[in-house]
Each structure stands twice: as structure tokens, then as C-alpha cells.
Amino acid sequence: MAAVIDVYLPIPAWRPYSYAVPETGLPDEPQGCRVVVPVRRGWKVGVCCGVRNADPPEDVAPAREFLDRRPAIPCDLWDLGMWMSSYYMCPPGITFTTMLPGPCRPRMSAVLEPRPALASRADTVPAELKAVVELLSHGPVLRNRLERLMGVPDVERLVRWLIEQDLASWKVKVGPEPASKQMAIATLVEAPDPVRVTAAGQRILEALRASGGRLPVAELVVRARVGRSVVATLERAGLVVVEHTMEPAPSLRDSVGPPLSLTPAQRGAVDAVSEAVRNRVFQSFLLHGVTGSGKTEVYLTAAAEAIAQGQSVVCLVPEIALTAQMLARFRGRFGDRVVLVHSGLRPGERLAAWARSTVPGSLVIGPRSAVFAPVSNLGLIVVDEEHDASYKQERDPRYNGRDVAIMRAHHASCPALLGSATPSLETYQHCLSGKHLMLELPDRVDGWAMPAVSIVDMRAEPKVHGPRVFSSLLRRRMEEVIGRGEQVLLLLNRRGYARSVQCADCGFIPQCPDCDIALTFHRRDYRYVCHYCDYAEPAHDACPSCQGHRLGFGSLGTERVDEELRSLFPDKRTLRMDRDTTRSRGAHVRIIDAMEREEASVLVGTQMIAKGLDLPKVTLVGVVNADTPLQFPDFRAGERAFQLLAQVAGRAGRSAAGGEVVLQSFLVDYPALLAAARHDYQAFAREELLQRREAGYPPFASLVRLEVRGRVGDAVDAHANAIAAGLRAVRPGQGGRYLGPAPPLLPRLRGLHRRQLLVFHRARSRLHAWVRDALSRAGEHHEGTRLVVDVDPLETA
């Protein structure tokens, strides 16, 4: 009997596929090694799950080669991957592929190689193969090239004779590794004489001037809202020079400094975590500290303890935009032990970082995927801002980095330290039930006060045409703060959605009577619809609450805010931080850096600026539209609103200079808003948990979202209805229910129709069993549709 290797492939299949051992042999420890295997007309990289004695299946070619000598997925991560696959209901091959950094999945191409015998037998080949032999006489040929040159769709058939005669063979070429990309940087050349330049060109020159004369082209074209050709035109005119360089990723200066002497609250927290580190026991902690209470110092000190024991540390941060300041602080303390891993790195840098993280005593820092870093001897996992939505991956496997971190710590027998000023209600409930241990930092360090918050009732502001931007209070405060040479942070929430409705006079938002979520407007049939349960009512012309006629879908544009700022402070510099301005490599670092250097007075941004920024010169935070998150049709709308407002408020007053917050709102008596204004997490959580319990929402029930997508509406409906029938056919037991099928927030997305079901159960294991059973009753294969299974969804829209 021969040996067979079993391989999980990155395809939607749950079982491993079997192959004969490759000619190049086996690594010492095959499980977790990447291996190239033949799949139909090409090759795929799979992950080997084992070797056994058996005859290989007849119809399959041997695996081509192993890409690793040592497992890319070491055995602790293997177990984690198998757990994820089952928990998130995502096939193992796709799960394991996600756990490896992108550049570990090399591009592969097929090559036809001449065999030694070909040269001597060249004149025996059939006429139609002469051209192929001629090509091969110069060396191996890529299949794509061969196809092009021969002009036949199926070269495999054509050359079969050569293969059978052992005159040529197919090989797979792995890689090359994607080349490191160079970055194009534009530099301004001040022309001695005025030159005529188009309006678009003017915008480029202005953008360059505004940022010190030098910017990456990728960022420049976004800022100036022009195409690249405009830059090229200016280059030809000699007004701009473009160079291509291999600049290292920009980063902030390391904040070097000795460990601070801890406050008593910090000391208590560190002691609890350090004890678990020393004893090598699993324990999950929630470090619940108000913004500015010194949570980072606790992470640093606990990490130092683990490193002193020769262990490694993984620290998750929500977004690349936030890694910059955290990285600077970790580097300042731990120097070269710190390894940054994130997808913004170039492929070569990413692979190098991945390799460096295996060095014992490393400190790996990065966004959610860093939870898979192959560190050895893990001693502590930190999850900063554990409530953050960016920990959830919105494609398969739809895992939550925070929860995977807890499971990884559990497997590794080490503590997991979650930190937040505004914990998710799931995490908070786990503290109340004793699953997590809560460590509290109730005050800001150095006795700095929490900033005072004013809520401005926008209903009372003088009415103007179009959406109002700044209330008179916010305008006055900005003038004062900027006049004193301090800085302002302005939150402009764009999460608002065109279908959500709010009365511009009284702030009323129509709600579903059953689901307690905002209804959405469907223009076609002029109705308000609940996308959880499909409840609908005719759209009103007048606001049911105040009888006004200004029910609208208002969402303020960034342009309006920019415009207004420019007219208020014509000689001050304003920076913007949002998706558009942070697209290019290192853009967020440059923006934060410019704020730290006080080159700008105002930073306007979306949610991005609400998190983690520590800018001592910011003494005023303004929230232009505090209600927007509440309009979002999701049972977490209140939680999101509270977190956002409390977090952004926490950006003010991070120094002895103090700070102030102005929230502009139509819903001035909404509990989440009031609690945020008082910095009162407990009050918010108490109220919100009561409502969740009553409505049977998480954390009092586990939730799986099932979404069917497809091009044909009827097929989508049929599949969704089959799943609903499957759910009805099984008795879920006490505490199980489902909502839908209903159209989600965007019933059509990129040409695909969508229907969703929300399945709840009080018992997690019952929920999984119920869903699995229902899905198998509904049948695996439905023509023309695709099923998305989202376990613990954060977005239920």
C-alpha cells in the first residue's frame, strides 16, 4: 500500500481531498504545510491535514509539491482553525487560507517542459505538433502563451501525445512573489512666472502647497479630485516632479520613555493579569476604563511581564489608522521585539513580519488577522477597543477577532485582556455572569476631568434652507478654541443611510412595532418596511409625531462642512480623515502627524477619528450629527450611538488644558445620548440590557444570520423559503425563533437580489444544531443562488 496525503482546499467543500505523495517528498510534519495540488485545469494551494497508508484514488494526479518545510499553520493554530471552521460554519480549507497572510497564496501558472528525449525524437512527432516542438526547443513555455500562440482553446488535448510519449510534461510554476510596488511621489516646482493652468491643475497645485509641497500621487489625485492624467500634464509643463521610490512605510516617531509609575487602579489591573501570565492559566479580563484612563499603560506593563517570562504577546488593535500611535508606544518600550503585521504592508514586508513573529519573546501588533500570527509560546493576548466592529470579518469565514483571540488564549492557557471604555454588551454581560473578570479604571490619569458635554437641540436652531451644519454654540466654541491656538475635532457621521428616515422638525424616526428597529423607506411601493420581520406600513406624508412635513433622508455631505469651515476660518488649515483621504499607504499617519505637529486647527472625520486618537491639543470635539447612528435599522443602533459618542467625546481634554464636547441632535432626550453626555456607561448598559432581554436579542440569545443572494429574484425567494421551511420542520425547543425571510437593508446589491433570515436561540449549541439541520433539509444545492452564513453577525442589515 502507498501513502496518501489529505488536503483541505480553499473551496466550499467540507471534506479533504486525497492525492499521491509528490515526487519531491514529504516534509517532516506534513499537517499544516501548504501543498500544491492539481485541480481540474490548474493547480491550487491547499493545506495538508495528514498522511495515511492507503492507495491513492485512481483518477487523480499526485500532488505537485509542498511549499513549506515546517507547518505554515502550526499545531496550536490548526486546532484554532478547526474550531473556527465548525463555529463559524465555514469549510476548513477556506478558514485555513484566511489564517495565512495573502502573499502565502502564491500565483501559479502551468508550464509545458521539454523532456530529455524530445531533442532526439523531434522528427517523429505528428505534423500538427511541429510548432510546439519548435517552441519547446527554446525551453519551457507557459500554458497561457502556448494557448495564444497556437490559437487553440484546448492545448492540453493538442499536446497529449507528447506527454504520453514522455517527450514533455506539465509543471506548475509557483510565484514569483508579487514584486514590491514602488510609490509615485509628486513634488511641487514653484514656477518663476505665472503659467496658465486648468482648474483641475490648480486644484493639484493647491493640494500640494497645502501639504508642504510633497504628496504621494495616489493621495494627491483623491484630495484634488482629479485624474492621474492631470498630474502628468503638470509634469510635462514642469510644474510638478514625479519620482518613483521605495519609501518605507511611514510611521510616527517612537514614544520612548521609562514605564510610568502606575496609578493604584492601573496597579490592581496589572497585578491581576500578571498573576495569570505567571501561572500560565487562561482567564479572560475586561479592562473597563474611561477614555484617557491609561489602559495602554496596563497593556504595556502586562506585556512586559509576559516577555520577561520568555513568552510572546499578541496585541490586536481595531484599525490600521489606530496602529500608528499604539505602535509608537510599544516600540518606545520594547524596541525591535515589536512586529507590526497588517495588510497595508507590501507582500515582502508581510512575509518578513510573519516570519519574525515566530521569534520567542516577540510582541505582535496588528488588526484582526494578527490573531493568527504564528508566535511561539504565547503568554498574553490583548484586544484593544474590544467592542470595535472592525474585529468582525465581513466575508467568509465571518469570524470576530476578539472571540477568536479569547479561544486562542484558552487553547494556549494564557490570559486574554480585552480593553474598552465602551464595552460591547456581549462582553459586559459576560462580566456580569462571571465569565470575564472585570478590571476597572474609573478615572482619567492625573485627575484630568472628563470633558463637559453640551447637547444642542437642533430643533430650536433657526431654520435655514438645506441641512444646518453648525449650531451657534458649536460655532462660538470653535472660534474660541481656534483663537487660543488649540485644536478641534469634528465628527461627521456618514453611516447614515439614504433609506432611513427622520423628521427634520422633531427628530422622529419611524420604528417597527415588533422589532424595535428603525423602518426603512421603499420608494417603489411607497412604504416603510422592517427588514427583520417584513412588517410594512404606508409611508406618511406628515410626521406622525409633530404633523410637520419635513420627514427626510437628510445626510450632510462632507463638502458642506468643508465649505462652511473655509468661510468661518479662511486662514486656518483643516484636515480630513475618511475613506477617501486615507486610501493611500501611510496617509493616516501623515494626517495624525500633521495634527501632532499642530500644522492644522481642525480635523474633520468619520468614525475613524472617534477611536483611540490621543491628541493633547484637542480641547473641543463637535459632533455635527449625533443622531445618525440611531437611524440605522439595527437592534444595536443605540449601542453604536453610545459607543461612538462616548468615544469621540473621549478625544477631548486629554491634557491639563481640559476639554469640551458639543453634540448636535434632534433627539435630545434619547437615553443613549444622555448617558453618553454624562459619560455614564453603567446607566446606558443597564437600560439597554433590559430592552435586549425583553426583545430576546443578543446577548440574551445567540444569533445566526442567513442570507441568500442571486441574480434571479424568484430563485432567491425559493431558496430562502426552503430554508424557512427547514427551520419550521425542526423543533428548536424553548427559546428558539426566527425572523424573515425579509429583504435586507439593501435588497439588491451589485445586481444580486438578497433575502435574509435571523435565527435566534437562547442556547448556543441548540442554535447551531437547528441551523445545520434546517440547511441540510433545505438542500445544499440551489441553482443560481448563494448562501451566506453569518454566525454572531454585527450587521443585521
Choices 232-240, 291-299, 545-553, 737-745; region in contact with ligand ADP by CB under 6 A: 291-299
Identify whether the C-beta of residue 550 lies closer than 8 Å to the C-beta of residue 543.
yes
Among 372, 532, 632, 770, binds Zn ion (CB under 5 A): 532
* 699 near ligand ADP (CB under 6 A): no
Candidates 293-301, 349-357, 360-368, 554-562 — which segment interacts with ligand ADP by CB under 6 A? Answer: 293-301
Cβ atoms of 653 and 620 within 8 Å: the answer is: no
**Partner whose footprint covers residue 530, from Zn ion, ligand ADP, none (CB < 5 to 8 Å by kind):** Zn ion
Task: Give the x-and-dash track for 297-316 against ligand ADP (CB under 6 A).
Answer: x-------------------
User: In the complex, what is the shortest distance from the CB of residue 519 to Zn ion, in angstroms, rounded to a whole number?
Assistant: 8
- 243: partner contacted, choices Zn ion, ligand ADP, none (Cβ within 5-8 A by kind): none
If we measure between CA atoms, which residue out of 612, 595, 795, 601 comes closest to residue 698?
795
Tell me the window of 65-73, 521-529, 534-542, 702-710 that interacts with Zn ion (CB under 5 A): 534-542
In angstroms, what is the minimal distance from the CB of 512 to Zn ion? 3
Residue 513 region by backbone torsions, left for phi larger than 0, else alpha for psi between -120 and 50, else beta: alpha
**Is residue 535 within the footprint of Zn ion (CB under 5 A)?**
yes
**Minimum distance between the CB of residue 648 and ligand ADP, rounded to whole angstroms?**
12
CA dihedral sign, ordered 636, 637, 638, 641: positive
* Count helices and strands in the chain by DSSP H and E runs: 25, 34
Q: Name the binder of 283 from ligand ADP, Zn ion, none, CB < 5-8 A by kind.
A: none
- Find the binder of ligand ADP among 91, 289, 554, 699 (CB under 6 A): 289
Instruction: Pick the closest to residue 679 from 659, 699, 707 (CA basis).
Output: 659
The one among 95, 284, 296, 619 contacting ligand ADP by CB under 6 A? 296
Interacting partner of 664 out of ligand ADP, Zn ion, none (Cβ under 5 to 8 A depending on kind): none
CB 656 to ligand ADP: min, Å:
11
> Is the peptide bond between 629 and the residue preceding it cis, with omega within 30 degrees of 0?
no
Q: Tell me whether residue 512 or residue 718 sits nearer to Zn ion (CB atom).
A: 512
Backbone CA torsion sign across 595, 653, 253, 330: negative
Interacting partner of 532 out of ligand ADP, Zn ion, none (Cβ under 5 to 8 A depending on kind)? Zn ion
Distance of CA 257 to the CA centre of its chain: 31
- Asked if residue 651 lies in contact with residue 291, where contact means CB atoms within 8 angstroms, the answer is yes
Strand partners, 456: 664
Helix axes 295-308, 320-334, angle to 10 degrees: 50
Give the range of 390-398, 468-476, 483-491, 527-535 binding Zn ion by CB under 5 A. 527-535
Q: Is 754 helix (H, G, I), strand (E, B) or coil?
A: strand
Binding site partner of 294, from Zn ion, ligand ADP, none, Cβ cut-off 5-8 A by kind: ligand ADP
| DSSP code string of 545-603 | TT--S-EE-----HHHHHHHHHHH-TTS-EEEESTGGG-STTHHHHHHHHHHTT--SEE
Binding track, positions 487-516, relative to Zn ion; x by CB under 5 A: -------------------------x-xx-
Q: How far apart are CA 733 and CA 750, in angstroms?
A: 38
Phi-psi region of 57 (alpha: psi -120 to 50; beta: other; left: phi over 0): beta
CA 622, CA 664: separation in Å to the nearest integer?
8
- Rounded-to-10 torsion of CA 565, 566, 567, 571: 120
760 and 738 in contact (C-beta within 8 Å)?
Answer: yes
Among 93, 96, 52, residue whose Cα is nearest residue 72: 96
- Considering only residues 337-356, where is the footprint of Zn ion by CB under 5 A? none
Q: Is residue 737 within the footprint of Zn ion (CB under 5 A)? A: no
Question: For residues 4 and 646, which CB has a smaller minimum distance to ligand ADP in the complex?
Answer: 646
Query: Residue 514 binds which one of Zn ion, ligand ADP, none, with CB within 5 to 8 A depending on kind?
Result: Zn ion
- Closer residue to Zn ion, CB minimum distance, 352 or 695: 695
From 111, 113, 73, select the one nearest 93 (Cα to Cα).
73
Grid cell, residue 181, equals: 510596488
Scanning 100-108, 285-293, 372-380, 748-756 for contacts with ligand ADP by CB under 6 A, the matching segment is 285-293
Each residue 570-609 as x (binds ligand ADP by CB under 6 A) or -, in order, gives ----------------------------------------
Concatenating the DSSP letter of every residue in 697-724 gives: -TTSSEEEEEEEEESSHHHHHHHHHHHH
528 scored as a contact of Zn ion (CB under 5 A):
no
**Distance between CA atoms of residues 517 and 635, nearest Å:** 6
C-alpha cell at position 562: 468643508
Nearer to ligand ADP, 332 or 735 (CB): 332
Which residues face 502 on adjacent strands? 552
Q: Which does 792 bind (CB under 5 to 8 A by kind): Zn ion, ligand ADP, none?
A: none
Residues 419-448 that bind ligand ADP (CB under 6 A): 445-446
Q: Which stretch binds ligand ADP (CB under 6 A): 167-175, 295-303, 339-347, 757-765?
A: 295-303
Contact residue for ligand ADP among 34, 44, 143, 295 (CB under 6 A): 295
**From the CB of residue 353, how many other CB atoms can be counted at a distance below 10 Å?**
20
Residue 262 CB, shortest distance to ligand ADP, in Å, is 5
Smallest distance from ligand ADP to CB 261, Å: 6
Pattern 252-271, binding to ligand ADP, x per CB under 6 A?
A: --------xxxx--x-----
Distance of closest approach, residue 694 Cβ to ligand ADP, in angstroms? 33
Residue by residue, what is the 3-state secondary structure of 45-73? Answer: EEEEEEEEECCCCCCCCCCCEECCCCCCC
Nearer Cβ to ligand ADP, position 654 or 761? 654
756 binds, among ligand ADP, Zn ion, none (CB under 5 to 8 A by kind): none
- Per the DSSP assignment, residues forming a β-bridge with 603 are 489, 575
Tell me the pairing of strands 487-491 and 602-605: parallel
Q: Which is nearer to ligand ADP, 296 or 400 (CB)?
A: 296
Handedness of CA 36, 40, 42, 44 (dihedral sign): negative
Q: Binds 698, which of ligand ADP, Zn ion, none (CB < 5 to 8 A, cut-off by type)?
A: none
The least distance separating Zn ion from the CB of residue 499, rounded to whole angstroms, comes to 15
Amino acid at 568: L
Are 97 and 105 contacting, i.e. CB atoms less than 8 angstroms apart? yes
Region 610-649 residues binding ligand ADP, contact defined as CB under 6 A: 614
Nearer to Zn ion, 344 or 510 (CB): 510
Quote the least distance from Cβ 758 to Zn ion, whole Å. Answer: 10
DSSP letters along 205-217, please? HHHHHHTTTEEEH
From 62-70, 287-295, 391-399, 468-476, span contacting ligand ADP (CB under 6 A):
287-295
* Closer residue to ligand ADP in complex, CB, 74/616: 616
Coil, strand, or helix at residue 457? strand
Q: Which does 293 bind (CB under 5 to 8 A by kind): Zn ion, ligand ADP, none?
A: ligand ADP
What is the closest distance, in whole angstroms, from the C-beta atom of residue 532 to Zn ion in the complex?
Answer: 4
Which 8-state DSSP code applies to residue 454?
E
Q: Residue 58, class by beta-carbon neighbours within 10 Å (0-12 exposed, 13-18 middle, 19+ buried)?
A: exposed
Q: Could you give the count of Cα atoms lying within 13 Å of 20 in the half-sphere of its Cβ?
A: 13
Smallest separation, CB 424 to ligand ADP (Å): 17
Binding stretches for ligand ADP (CB under 6 A): 260-263, 266, 289, 291-297, 445-446, 614
Binding stretches for Zn ion (CB under 5 A): 512, 514-515, 530, 532-533, 535
